[in-house]
C-alpha cells in the first residue's frame, strides 16, 4: 500500500510562510542554496530501485531527506531573483511561500532511521507533492499579472531562462519524490517505481493520440486521423508518463493546426507519427508531422517563450494543473515539453513550412545514462545514504 494513502488533508499554508519567514529559516535557505545538487540518471534510479526491499526504501528516504531540501532551497533562491519584478507578483510570492513551507517541514523532520520513520517520511513527501500540484497554473497566473503591468517583458529572454531553470528543477523534485512513492506500489514486469524498462514509444503515441483526438473532437466536432509508422516494436527504459505528456502536447498541437487550416472537413489530412531508433543508436527519435499550415519564420523563436501562443488566449487562467488540458491558449505546452525532453538528455526541434505544415522531432536518450539537467555536481547515491 502507498504510505501516502489515507493521510490527513493538507492544511492551508499560513500565508504560504512568505510573510512569516524567520531569520533562522532565511539563513538555512541560504546555506542549502549554496550546496550542490546531485543529478542522477534514469539508469541509476532504475538500478537502485530494482533492489526491492524495505532496506532499499529506507536508504532512498535518507537520500531524499538530504537532497530535497537542497533542491527546494535552489528553487526558492531562483524565485527570489526573477527579473522585471516577476518575483513580486502575488502568484509568484504564493509559490515561493509553498516551497519555503516544504523546505521548513522536511528540514524539521528527523533523519529517517527506521521503517516507521520511512513510512512517515513518505507520507510527508506525498503531501508536499500534492501541495505543489498547481504550481504550473499558478506561475502562468504570475506571468499574466506581470503582463498586465509590463507587457513587453513577458517574452524577454531573461524571463524564459529563469523559468526554464525553475521548471527543470520542479521536474527533478517531482521525479525523485514520485519515484520514492511509487516504490511502495505493486507494478508490472519491468517497472521500478515510475520507470519502465519496456517503454514502447509507439504504444504511448497511440494512447496519447487517442486522448488528443478526443479533446480535438470535443473542441471542434471533428478530428484528423493519427497514423503511426516506423519501429512499433521498439522499447527502452524511460518514464512513460513523461513520454505521454510530451507526445500528447505535440499531437494535440498538430490536430488543432490541421483542423484550423482545413476546416471541419470529413477528409482531413492525417497527423503522421514516425518512431525511429535501432539497437545501436543513442537516441530514440519520434517525428510528429502535420499539414496544418506551418508557422511563420518570424514566430519560430517565440514559440519557446512562455505565454506565446498561436491559438486564442483564454479569458481566464486555469485553477489547477489538471485543467490546463486545452487545445491551445496558455502558451506553456511547447516550452515545458522541451524541458521534459531535455531533463534526461533529449530535445525537441520544430521544422516548419509556412503554408503547408510542421514536423516536430522529439529526441530521447535511450541509454538511460544522461544525468538530470541540473546546474551542478554529481555524487553517487549510495555515498549520500550511507
Residue ranges per structural domain of the chain: 15-193, 195-365
Nearest to 176, CA basis, from 113, 115, 239:
239
Catalytic residues: 245, 249, 252-253
Cα→Cα distances 66→1, 77, 78, 184, Å: 25, 18, 20, 20
pLDDT in tens, 242-274: 999 999 999 999 999 999 999 877 789 999 999
Question: What three-state secondary structure class fits 348?
Answer: strand
Domains 15-193 and 195-365 equal at CATH topology level? no
For the chain, the straight-line distance linking the first and the last C-alpha, in angstroms and rounded, comes to: 26
* Choice between 348 and 302, residue whose per-residue pLDDT is larger: 348
Q: Provide mean pLDDT across the span 76-91.
A: 94
Average pLDDT value over all residues in the chain: 85
Question: Among 89-98, 146-155, 317-326, which range has the highest average pLDDT?
Answer: 89-98
Q: 298: which residues sit within 8 A by CB, 6+ positions away? A: none
Angle between helix axes 240-262 and 201-220 (nearest 10 degrees) is: 40
- Residue 52 pLDDT > 80: no
pLDDT band at 300 (very low <50, low <70, confident <90, very high): confident
Percent of the chain with pLDDT over 70: 85
Q: In this predicted structure, which of 16-20, 88-92, 251-255 has the lowest mean pLDDT?
A: 16-20
Q: What is the mean pLDDT of residues 355-377?
A: 82
Q: What is the mean pLDDT of residues 305-313?
A: 63
Cell of 76: 526558492
Comparing 378 with 65, which gets the higher pLDDT?
A: 65
SS3 363: strand
Residue 331 DSSP SS3: coil
Judged on CB neighbours under 10 Å (0-12, 13-18, 19+), 66 is middle
Q: What is the pLDDT of residue 316?
A: 52
Secondary structure in 3-state letters for 147-216: HHHCCCCCCCHHHHHHHHHHHHHHHHHHHHHHHHHHCCCCCCCCEECCEEEEECHHHHHHHHHHHHHHHH
Region 28-52 average pLDDT: 91
Domain 15-193, CATH number (from 1.20.140.20, 2.40.50.100, 3.40.50.11030, 1.20.120.160): 1.20.140.20
pLDDT at 379 > cutoff 70:
no
Query: Is it the case that residue 349 has pLDDT exceeding 60?
Result: yes
What's the chain's length in residues?
386
pLDDT band at residue 331 using 50, 70 and 90 as cut-offs: low
358 pLDDT higher than 60: yes
What's the rounded mean pLDDT across residues 295-321? Answer: 67
DSSP 350: E
| Percentage with pLDDT > 90 across the chain | 65
Q: Which residues contact 127 (CB under 8 A, 6 or more apart)?
A: 4, 7, 10
Q: Is the pLDDT of residue 27 over 90?
A: yes
φ, ψ of residue 258 to 5 degrees: the values are -65, -45
Residue 212 main-chain phi, psi, to 5 deg: -65, -40
Q: What is the architecture, at CATH level 2, of domain 195-365? A: 2-Layer Sandwich (3.30)
pLDDT at 10 over 60: no
Return d(Cα 17, Cα 314) in angstroms, integer. Answer: 31
Q: How many CA atoms, within 13 angstroms, populate the side-chain half-sphere of residue 360?
A: 29
Kindly report, residue by residue over 137-186, the tens digit of the pLDDT: 899 899 999 999 998 888 788 888 889 999 999 999 999 999 999 999 88
Q: How confident is the model at residue 377 (pLDDT cuts 50, 70, 90)?
A: very low
Residue 205 clears pLDDT 70, i.e. is over it:
yes
Pairwise pLDDT comparison (145 vs 3), residue with the higher score? 145
Amino acid at each position: 500500500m502507498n504510505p501516502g494513502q489515507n493521510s490527513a488533508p493538507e492544511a492551508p499554508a499560513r500565508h504560504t510562510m512568505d510573510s512569516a519567514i524567520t531569520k533562522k529559516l532565511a539563513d538555512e535557505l541560504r546555506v542549502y542554496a549554496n550546496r550542490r545538487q546531485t543529478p542522477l540518471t534514469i539508469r541509476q534510479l532504475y538500478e537502485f530501485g530494482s533492489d526491492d526491499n524495505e532496506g532499499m526504501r529506507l536508504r532512498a528516504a535518507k537520500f531524499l531527506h538530504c537532497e530535497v531540501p537542497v533542491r527546494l532551497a535552489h528553487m526558492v533562491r531562483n524565485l527570489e531573483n526573477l527579473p522585471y519584478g516577476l518575483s513580486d507578483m502575488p502568484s509568484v510570492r504564493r509559490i515561493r511561500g509553498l516551497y519555503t513551507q516544504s523546505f521548513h517541514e522536511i528540514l524539521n523532520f528527523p533523519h529517517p532511521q527506521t521503517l516507521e520513520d520511512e513510512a512517515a517520511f513518505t507520507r510527508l513527501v506525498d503531501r508536499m507533492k500534492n501541495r505543489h500540484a498547481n504550481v504550473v497554473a499558478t506561475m502562468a497566473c504570475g506571468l499574466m499579472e506581470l503582463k498586465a503591468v509590463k507587457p513587453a517583458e513577458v517574452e524577454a529572454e531573461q524571463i524564459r531562462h529563469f523559468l526554464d531553470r525553475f521548471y527543470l528543477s520542479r521536474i527533478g523534485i517531482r521525479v525523485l519524490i514520485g519515484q520514492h512513492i511509487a516504490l511502495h506500489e505493486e507494478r508490472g514486469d519491468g517497472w521500478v517505481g515510475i520507470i519502465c524498462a519496456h517503454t514502447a514509444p509507439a504504444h504511448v503515441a497511440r494512447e496519447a493520440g487517442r486522448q488528443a483526438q478526443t479533446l480535438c473532437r470535443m473542441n471542434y466536432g471533428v478530428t484528423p486521423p493519427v497514423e503511426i509508422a516506423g519501429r512499433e516494436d521498439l522499447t527502452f527504459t524511460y518514464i512513460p508518463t513523461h513520454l505521454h505528456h510530451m507526445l500528447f502536447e505535440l499531437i494535440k498541437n498538430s490536430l488543432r493546426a490541421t483542423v484550423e487550416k482545413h476546416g471541419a472537413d470529413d477528409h482531413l489530412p492525417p497527423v503522421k507519427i514516425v518512431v525511429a531508433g535501432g539497437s545501436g543508436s543513442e537516441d530514440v527519435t519520434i517525428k510528429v508531422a502535420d499539414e496544418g499550415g506551418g508557422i511563420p519564420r518570424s514566430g519560430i523563436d517565440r514559440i519557446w517563450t512562455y505565454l506565446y501562443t498561436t491559438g486564442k488566449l483564454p479569458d481566464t487562467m486555469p485553477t489547477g494543473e489538471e485543467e490546463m488540458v486545452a487545445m491551445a491558449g496558455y502558451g506553456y505546452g511547447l516550452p515545458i515539453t522541451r524541458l521534459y525532453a531535455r531533463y534526461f538528455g533529449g530535445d525537441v526541434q520544430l521544422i516548419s513550412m509556412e503554408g503547408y505544415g510542421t514536423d516536430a522531432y522529439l529526441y530521447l536518450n535511450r541509454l538511460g545514462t544522461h544525468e538530470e539537467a541540473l546546474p551542478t555536481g554529481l555524487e553517487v547515491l549510495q555515498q549520500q545514504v550511507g
